[in-house]
Every structure is written in structure tokens, then in C-alpha cells.
Structure 1
């Protein structure tokens, strides 16, 4: 059972009502100057219940720093519950290893809102079937098919034959169980060493008896089973613990008619959903599903955006090194599908205002930096791209030249050209940031 099906089995396909929602949000400021939603909906949130014994075991493992080589790094160290289960620091990446001096390879993603995340696939999401998809075959078909432009309110882009789903920035894990194991063994992160070392620590952990109670005494003698059950317990904790998916933002309550947006927040929502302006909702879907599930603010697809190279990353000191996302180096099963090189997963924007590192390489440190990049990448690249020693603007400098054709230049606002008017004004950007702040959990509703 994967992370997508752990919650609300049989809920059916998640069909977005984006087109209707986009129309309804147009002119909201005029429709209701007090900032209330004129068309409130009822949102279906995950059920809240006491943690199962399995989830309680997972919680103990999640906070256990002794599993790391340093003895100071746990899952919660990088995925801090006080920071929406994202990184607690302001740097582009977290530090790990035996002396907490080794850089992680990529910016730490949040662990929130993964309970409905689909498995990795190439092509349209086929729902919860268990059919094995030939990735190479689908990729070959995608290379020959026309790409549908992604705009807010347009459902057609869901049919694009592009990578989608999966966990991490490159989708190399399909389940929360698999995702938990990677950082545990990564020498740049928890650096747990071999499976044998990790199993030995689990056998002597304060919670070891819980394994026996749940799985029987023999589980401690079976190294492979012990680690698998430990990671499954961590996954159960993430699924059952409500703070991983609370849906308690101001925007959630506004959707339900229980909160009011300010004029700036309303303008930001309109700009977010406007395909002729920011077009954020083209990838970061803002509409509830037709059956009332709250929006996840991601379409789970992959994009090559051509973000600038981050000189602060040690790996980038080698001019020949490139992080190509789906093509590697961390994902290794489809490197030949070069039409996807440079693509990274579209993250949720929930709680994005709590972050200080954006994009896969953490190159941006504020929402203003991100919006400037979207706004000026194509019209005024000199504002957001580095320069070479001779002053030449180095656009797409974090991709080898042979893969730069993969960069999205069709979806608004990336359909503009040098000299064109940018999609957003400075006030537009400020209003969008105001709206993005309404996606932070922990808001206290009016009723």
C-alpha cells in the first residue's frame, strides 16, 4: 500500500475543478469587499484519531538522533515540526555526516501534505491501479507528443506525458517508507552506515521492545525485516499524525467561509489564478477537488525552470558537475531519457512562507527572489541570472547547453521574450506574497 492510498481508500480520482474555481475567483474584491468567500465549500480533512501503536513506534524513530553517525541528527532535525517539517536553517541545504560538516545534495523538502502524493510515472495519472508502467515506453511516446501549455484553470495539461509523482526532488521513492530510508543511509545526511549498523542500533534502542510486541521476537533477528518495519512505522507516523497534513491555513478557512482575506490577499489570489499574469495555479493547483478534498498546491508534475547555479553548494565547485534531477545523479533508472534532464518536482506551496531556501538547489532565499525569477527570467534575465567575468549574462548556467531546450518556455509567464513587459508589477508580486502567506498552517478561524 503506497502513501497515496493510505488515506481515504476508494475516494476515486481526484478531479480538479480548476476552470470553475478560476472563474469564481475573478472579481472577488468587487463581489465581497469584506474579503469573505462568496461561494464557501466544505473541505474534507483527514480523520483525527490517537496514534496507533505502529505510529507511536514511528514517532520514536523519527526523533531518534542515535541512528545517525553523529548522534545528533534525527529525521526531525532536518524536517522540523516547528518549520512545517522542513529545514530549520536559513542555508540552501542542511549539514550532516559524522561531524555535521557535510552538505546535503539538495534543499530539504517539507514532509507535509504527502498523504495524497501519487507514485512516480511518466504520462497521465492513471489512478490507483497496480499495472506496471514501462517508463521507457511512455517516455518515448512523450518525446513525440505535443506538449499542452499549462495555464490556471486548464485541465488539459494533466494529459501531458511528462514525469509526475514520486518523492524527493527527482521522484526516486514512491512510498514514505522508502523515502525514510534514503537519508538514514546517506553519508551527507544521517550517515547511518550499513544496514547492519542501523539494525544493531534498532535492536538496542529504548523502543526495541515495541518491535517485539508488534511483530514478534524473531523480528530482531531478521535484519532486513527489522529495518523495513522501522521505516514502515515512520511512514505510519507521517500518515496518522495530523500535523503532517492539518489543512489549517487561512486560505482553507476562507474556502469554507470561516475567514476573510485582506484586499492585498484577494488581489494576490486573483493574480495567482490569472493565466495572463502570474499563472501560478497552472502548476500549483489552488482549487479544491470536486469531492471536497483541500487543494495541494501542486500538480505533482516535473518542470525544468532553468534556475541559476548555486555557488554556495560544494558540489558545484566542479564546473563539470550538474544536478539533472530526473536524469541523475541521484536517480539512476532513466538517465537515457534526456528530454527530462533538468526537471524537478513541483513542490506544494503550502507553508512556503515559512521556508528560507527555494528550488532544488536552494539558490533563492525569499519569496521575492522566486517571484523576481519567474517575472524576469525571460524579459530581463540580467536581473536574475549571474554574469561571467566578461559581464555576459549566464542564463540557464546550471544546465549543460545540450539540455537547455528542456527548459519551459511555453507556460506563462515563461512565454515572454527580452523586451516584453514582465507579467507582474512590483505591487503584483507583493500581493501574491501576501496571498502565499495565507497558506501557512495554524490560523485561528473566526468560527
Structure 2
């Protein structure tokens, strides 16, 4: 509750300063309350904030018995099969669509884009049996309808008849949470990198080397997927182009041993999206933002890597024949979960990295951390 009290003034300030309609501010305020309320879960034990903790980059920083690789459900025993993505900066992902120019599927929410926008995403977890576990939209609507505070707020914002239709009431709940997630609370753009762009922070030598490497298409290929804007318009960079690619991530066997999912089960990524039918998209995952990446591990869609440096070495293995072993297991890198669609054309571009260059890239990624999370970062020397 202390955190909610701290966030409320920020929310109201950011919402009101944007000259939005009063109803939008009301929705965001309602959405903030709902985001922190366990009323959305069957056993009243889980809120949105537990899997998207505002104090820790809007991810699930709990161990959950699986080293944080996936989230624990409201029933106290169900473990998911994917890592909870950060809700920070999620507002900038465009609605799910096909870009005819680039011939790429773009945007949406979740790793497979199965929900087109933030409201769709917010409506997913409450009725997911391995997440919040509500039996139906009607069940949640009834809870909100008879709640002494929410009942009045919903009627004031959406009309007196809002509870007459459970789909509309449920949609209103999701819309409200989405409006909260569109506030500056989720996207302050105040990292050391942002301050550097304003001339308010001086990069260390290692950070500067990492920056040069990151944006150099000759040395690395990071910016091919993790740069949205031109260098001349770097303000507000989200460090993702919101496309979908298969980079050869292996199955997380350790997670499967804990959550009971058959180790042979394949996560088909984008292909599991109901709008997608072509096998060419099998195993593709949406490119994540690198904002707060240092404090939002473990990494990859299934949490298979614990350290950010491991992720960089994983990319480097496609070019560097000396990167034989996964440094976390001291064993050869595991095979790709979906080998046939791995984007080798992009992954094999660039030059191999020395250990110092790996550290430099980590140092650069560290400075993409929002100011309020900088105390969580272990600086690289």
C-alpha cells in the first residue's frame, strides 16, 4: 500500500498534464487501484503487481521455486511456462498488424502478439487458470458489482448499466488497467542513457565502448532488432522494433521439470497466435524492449538464461567459434527449440566479441535502467 500511495501522485500528475479528458484520468485512477488489488484473482491472493512489480522493473521478482523463470499462480501451485515480461514501456508496442513494407508481423502484447493491445493483455490473466484463476468474466463482474467502491466508480465512468453485460464490464476493467499502464509511471525515460542524450551524464569508457558496439552494424547486429528510431531522433527510444524473430533459444528443461509441462512440448511462439497459420513463423518471439533489461532477468521468453552476459555470449556463439559452452552450465549450448526457422541471416552478421566487449555491452545495457531502479544495478568494470 505504501508503494501505491507513492505512485498515485505520479499518476495524477502525468495524467492531468497530458490534457486528456476527465474520463481518461478517471479510468487510469481506477486502473491503478485494480492493478494492485487481489480481487481480480480467485483466491484473493494475486494482483497484477505481483507479476509486474513496480518496485522491480514491472516484472515478477519472486523466486516462485523456479529461480524467477516463471510466475506462480493464484492457486499456489501452478507455474507458467514463460517468463513474465515487463509491463514498463509496453504502451509503445503498436497494435498487432502485418507491415507490408517490411513483410513482418509487428506489435501486439504477450510474446506471441495474441492480444492486439494493452486492454487485451490486461484481460488475459484474471481468467487464465494458471494465473489468477477466475472461473469466468461473470464471476469477476459480480465481485466488482457488489464492491462498495468499485461499483460506484464503474457506474460513474462507464454508465449505470455497465454491470448488465459481463463482457462489457470485464472490458471496462481491462480498459482501466490499460489506461494506468499508459501513464508516465510505466515509462519515465529518465535512465542514464536519457540523461546522456541531454548532456546530463558522462559515459564511462566501458559504457561508451558498449554504446558504440551496440549501434555499430559492422561489429554487432544489436540495433537491427533493438533500435526503433534513427540516431537523430534517439529521444524516447524503446530499443525494440516490435518484430518477431526466432533466435534459437533452447527449451528451458529446468523450468519444465518444475512446472510439469512435457519437456518435448514445443513453444511455437508467433505460430500459436490464432491470426497466424504459416509455418515460417514457428518459434518466433516478439523482440523485447531493452529498457530496464539489467533488472528484469532471467532472460529470454522462457527465462532460460540467468545472466545478461550469458545472453550476449549466446548471440556471439553464432559468430565466435570459441563460444562453445554456456557459461552458466559449462556445457555446450543446447539446441534451438524450433531449429527450422532460426534467423541465421541476421544472427551471423557482425564480428566476434572479446570478453571485454561483452562486458562493455553489459555496461551499456546497464545505463538503460530507469532512475528509480539504478540501486538494483551491479556496475560492470
Q: TM-score, normalised by structure 2?
A: 0.84
Alignment match, 2:364: 435
Matched, 1:333 2:299: no
Q: CA offsets, 1:168-208, max 9 Å, x none? A: 10011111111101111111111122111111111123322
Q: Is the 8 A contact 1:385 1:395 kept in 2?
A: no
Match of 1:342 among 267, 283, 305: 283
Q: Does 1:95 align with 2:69?
A: no
CA distance in 2, matches of 1:316, 1:203: 37
What residue in structure 2 maps to residue 48 of structure 1? 14
What does residue 363 of structure 1 align with? 304
State the structure with more CA Rg: 1
Give the structure 2 partner of residue 406 of structure 1.
Answer: 341
Q: CA deviation at 1:258?
A: 1.4
Deviation, 1:312, is 2.1
| Aligned residues between the structures | 346
Give, in whole Å, the separation in 2 of the partners of 1:407 and 1:275: 20
The answer (yes or no) to whether the contact 1:381–1:395 under 8 Å persists in 2 is no
**1:108 Cα deviation after fit:** 0.6
SS in 2 for 1:333: coil
Structure showing greater relative contact order (alpha-carbon pairs closer than 8 Å, 6 or more residues apart): 1
- Runs (5+) with no aligned partner, structure 1: 1-46, 125-158, 417-421
CA distance in 1, matches of 2:349, 2:25: 50
Q: How does 1:305-324 map to 2 (within 5 A)?
A: 305-314=247-256, 317-324=261-268
Match of 1:299 among 241, 245, 270: 241
TM-align CA RMSD: 2.6
The answer to which structure has the higher helix fraction is 2
CA distance, structure 1, for counterparts of residue 162 and residue 260 of structure 2: 43
Of 207, 223, 229, the match for 1:265: 207
2:123 is paired with a residue whose SS is helix
Counterpart position of 2:44: 71
SS in 2 for 1:122: strand
Cross-structure match for 1:351: 292
Aligned equivalents of 2:228, 2:285: Cα separation in 1: 20
Q: Partners of 2:364 and 2:333 in 1: how far apart? A: 32
Q: Deviations over 1:330-360 (max 9, x none)?
A: x2332x3100101000000000000221111
Q: Which moved more, 1:80-89 or 1:159-168?
A: 159-168
Give the Cα separation in 2 of the matches to 1:428 and 1:234. 41
Look up the SS of the partner of 2:217 in the other structure. coil
Tell me, what secondary structure is at the counterpart of 1:103? coil
Q: Deviations over 1:8-36 (max 9, x none)?
A: xxxxxxxxxxxxxxxxxxxxxxxxxxxxx
CA contact (8 A) 1:385 1:394 kept: no
Alpha-carbon distance between aligned partners in 1 of 2:135 and 2:265, rounded to the nearest angstrom = 25
Aligned partner of 2:196 in structure 1 is 254
> 3-state SS of the aligned residue for 1:95?
coil
CA separation of 1:289/1:220 partners in 2, compared to 1, >3 Å: closer, same or farther?
Answer: farther
Q: For residues 210 and 26 of structure 2, what CA distance do their matches in structure 1 show? A: 43
Alignment of 1:46-195 (within 5 A): 48-50=14-16, 52-89=25-62, 90-98=67-75, 100-124=76-100, 159-195=101-137
Contact 2:144/2:151 (<8 A) preserved = yes
Matches of 2:328 and 2:340, distance apart in 1: 19
Q: Please tell me whether the aligned partners of residues 308 and 386 of structure 1 are also in contact (alpha carbons under 8 angstroms).
A: no
Q: Which runs of 4+ in 1 moved over 4 A?
A: 286-293, 391-394
- Per-residue CA distance 1:230-280 (angstroms, 9 max, x = gap): 11111111113x111100101011111111111110001011112232321
Structure 2 unaligned regions, length at least 5: 1-12, 17-23, 375-381
Change (3 A) 1:269 1:293: closer
Q: Once structures 1 and 2 are overlaid, which stretch shifts more, 372-381 or 62-71?
A: 372-381
State whether residues 194 and 235 of structure 2, in contact with CA within 8 Å, keep that contact through their aligned partners in structure 1: no
Q: Deviations over 1:282-319 (max 9, x none)?
A: 11117557667411100111110111210122367524
Task: Return the alpha-carbon distance in structure 2 between the equivalents of residues 201 and 282 of structure 1.
Answer: 46
Q: SS state of the match for residue 141, structure 2?
A: helix
Shift of 1:377: 4.0
Asked if structure 2 preserves the Cα contact closer than 8 Å seen for 1:386 and 1:395, the reply is no
Alignment of 1:214 with 2:157, yes or no, is yes
The one of 417, 420, 423 equivalent to 2:352 is: 423
Name 1:384's counterpart in structure 2. Answer: 326
Aligned to 2:173: 230
Cross-structure match for 1:29: none
Residue 204 (structure 1) aligns with: 146
Distance in 1 between residues matched to 2:122 and 2:137, nearest whole Å: 13
